[in-house]
Amino acid sequence: MTRSERDKKLLKETAKDMIAGDDDVELVLEETTGEEDFKYEKSSNVCGVVVDKGSGRGYAQITGGGKDPCIIYTGRGESGCVKAEILAGQTCMLYR
């Protein structure tokens, strides 16, 4: 699913609103999707993910760290965004 520039701006504004008050958190410059040639990236600076449930069919999965997996499905007729925390020892992968 390719977003229009308007939709990209709206998503970024929504994500900014969702992290407002989290002073140590900042957004990446561009969204990451499972649609692109996504490469695994390891970073201790990643502490969460904002998922657009209305985007293309797939899911974001947070696993590891001795915690139960967290799976956020997309493209199932739902709308809105969800913010999920990624704790130390956990990873987040995007699937399409």
Count CB atoms within 10 A of the CB of residue 14.
14
pLDDT number for residue 89: 92
pLDDT number for residue 66: 96
- Maximum Cα interatomic distance, the chain, rounded to a whole number of Å: 39
Tell me the three state secondary structure of residue 17: helix
| Displacement of CA 6 from its chain's centroid (Å) | 19
Q: How would you write the pLDDT of the chain (96 residues) with one tens digit per residue?
A: 678 899 989 999 999 999 998 888 888 888 888 776 665 666 778 899 999 999 999 999 999 999 999 999 999 999 999 999 999 999 999 998
pLDDT number for residue 41: 64
Contact between residue 42 and residue 88 where contact means Cβ atoms under 8 Å apart: no
Beta strands 81-85 and 70-74, pairing class: unpaired
Task: List the domain boundaries for the chain.
Answer: 5-22+40-95
pLDDT number for residue 65: 94
Contact between residue 52 and residue 12 where contact means Cβ atoms under 8 Å apart: no
